[in-house]
Structures are given as C-alpha cells and as structure tokens.
C-alpha cells in the first residue's frame, strides 16, 4: 500500500476531489466554462453540429444538437462505418454518431460489423459528450483494442478503487506496462497517444494503491514523461498531479 503522510493525505484528498469526475487534459474554465476537465480522447470544445445521414428523419435544436432515426439501405454497413470514421476525422462527432448508429440498427450487419459500429459510436460519444457516455458501447464492442482503451479510461474517470483496479488490468492487457510498447490505433481520430495511455495507467496504479503500485506508478509516469516532454501536455498534468499527491521519486 502507498504510505502517505498526513500532509500528503490532505493534498491527495484535494487533488482527487478535483479529478474524481475526470482527469487532466485542459479545463473548461474561463468566463463561460464549466470547469469540467476532460480525459485524453475527449473533445474539450464540446458538442458540434450534427449532420444527418441517409434517409433517416431527424430533428435539431438551435444549439446544434440533434437526433436521427431510420436506416439507409443505399449504403452497405461497411460504408456506413467508414463514413462514420470520415466524419470523426473531420471533427463532426454528431454526424459520426448517426452513421455508426445506423450501422448498428441495420439488420444486414454481421456480428463483427456491429462490434465495429459500437466501437465507433462509443468514441463519437466520448468526443461529443464525455468518456463515461461511451462505456456501454465499448462493452458491446467486446475486446477490440480501441474499445478496451475507451472503457478503461471511463473506469478511471469513475474514480473508485475497484474501477481503478479493473482499468489497471485492462491497460496492462493492452501492453502499456511494457517499456517498449507503442500504442497503435486503427483510427487516429481517437486521439490518444502511447504516452497519454501509459500516464493513465500510472495514475490508475497510484490510485489503486496495492502493494508495489507506487513503484509501478513511478516507473510508468517517468517513461511517459520521456515519451512526451511537453510541459503543458496531458502527460505533464498527470505527472504534476501524481507529484502533488505524494508520489515520490519524480
């Protein structure tokens, strides 16, 4: 278990209160912001306009959010999934969500296509809303590496020790505990780097606080910091959070 002094326990309690909802890549502060912090992979700018897909019907509000229903049979399921990722690449998270949802609801979809569509919709929800909103889709997507990563980040955002433990196991299963491992994602629109994912694993180790977790957290965050040397990146913010929370040797 981590051995923290009373001073560090107070400091940890404060830091975890701030991070309990999410982790540290930017902040929605400023005059009109909510102050909510976002995880790697999320979109700190918030929702964007939804561009509808196919022949479905849809409604939208003045704020640019909307919903759509229906199935476009002029496209194959694979084409709908591809269009969803193209929309993700262009930053149209809402439009991507509709393409993936259309693929999920398409009766022609195979099991693998539906899993791919759930993975895509999960990440579009992460971008459009937040990490927690994608978790149910990531579960449906099964053991795809991208969906496992998204699910683990959601577990970390939930903040409980048991969730942290599950996240540690998932991220280790991906390979992020290995010094030379490089995270390769099929879809670059997800926007999570090796260093960010490794730093998240370090944070999860620290919060889980099992025997030896402080040693592993220190090892992993130092590797992540060497992979991303920016002083303002999410990795730097996680590093500073761990240091302020009492992780020694960094």
> Does the pLDDT of residue 119 top 80, yes or no?
yes
- Give per-residue pLDDT as tens, 144-168: 999 999 999 999 999 888 999 999 9
61-70 pLDDT, tens digit per residue, is 444 444 444 4
60 backbone dihedrals φ, ψ, rounded to 5°: -140, 160
Start-end of H helices in the chain: 6-19, 77-89, 93-105, 111-128, 135-141, 145-158, 161-174, 194-208, 213-227, 234-244
Report the alpha-carbon distance of residue 206 to residue 228 in Å, rounded. 20
Instruction: Write down which residue in 129, 154, 189 finishes a domain.
Output: 129
Question: Do 68 and 35 lie in a common domain?
Answer: no
Q: Is it the case that residue 33 has pLDDT exceeding 60?
A: no
Sign of the C-alpha dihedral, residues 138, 140, 141, 144? positive
Residues 166 and 224 both lie in one domain: yes
pLDDT at site 71: 63
Domain range for residue 114? Answer: 57-129
- pLDDT (tens digit per residue) in 227-239: 999 999 999 999 9
95 and 205 inside one domain = no
Q: Distance of CA 156 to CAs 102, 161, 179, Å?
A: 30, 9, 21
Total of domains in the chain: 2
Specify whether 235 is located in the same domain as 149: yes
* φ/ψ of residue 58, rounded to 5: -155, 160
222 compared with 31, residue with greater pLDDT: 222
pLDDT grade, residue 185 (50/70/90)? very high
Query: Do 230 and 170 fall into the same domain?
Result: yes
Instruction: Tell me the whole-structure pTM to 2 decimals.
Output: 0.76
> Do 111 and 235 belong to one domain?
no
> In the beta sheet, which residues pair with residue 58?
68
């Amino acid at each position: 278990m981590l051995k923290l002094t009373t001073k560090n326990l107070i400091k940890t309690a404060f830091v975890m209160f701030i991070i309990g909802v999410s982790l540290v890549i930017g902040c929605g502060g400023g005059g009109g912001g909510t102050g909510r912090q976002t995880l790697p992979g999320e979109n700190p700018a918030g929702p964007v306009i939804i561009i509808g897909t196919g022949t479905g019907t849809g409604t939208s509000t003045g704020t640019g959010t909307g919903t759509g229903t229906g199935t476009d049979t002029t496209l194959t399921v694979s084409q709908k999934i591809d269009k969803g990722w193209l929309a993700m690449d262009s930053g149209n998270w809402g439009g991507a969500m509709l393409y993936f949802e259309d693929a999920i609801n398409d009766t022609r979809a195979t099991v693998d296509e539906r899993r791919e569509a759930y993975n895509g919709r999960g990440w579009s929800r992460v971008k459009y809303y937040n990490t927690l909103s994608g978790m149910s889709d990531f579960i449906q997507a099964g053991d795809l590496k991208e969906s496992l990563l998204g699910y683990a980040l959601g577990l970390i955002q939930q903040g409980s020790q048991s969730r942290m433990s599950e996240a540690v196991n998932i991220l280790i299963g991906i390979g992020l505990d290995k010094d030379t491992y490089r995270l390769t994602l099929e879809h670059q629109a997800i926007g999570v780097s090796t260093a960010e994912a490794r730093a998240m694993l370090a944070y999860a180790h620290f919060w889980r606080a099992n025997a030896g977790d402080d040693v592993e957290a220190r090892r992993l965050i130092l590797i992540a910091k060497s992979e991303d040397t920016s002083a303002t990146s999410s990795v730097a913010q996680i590093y500073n959070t761990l240091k302020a929370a009492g992780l020694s040797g960094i």
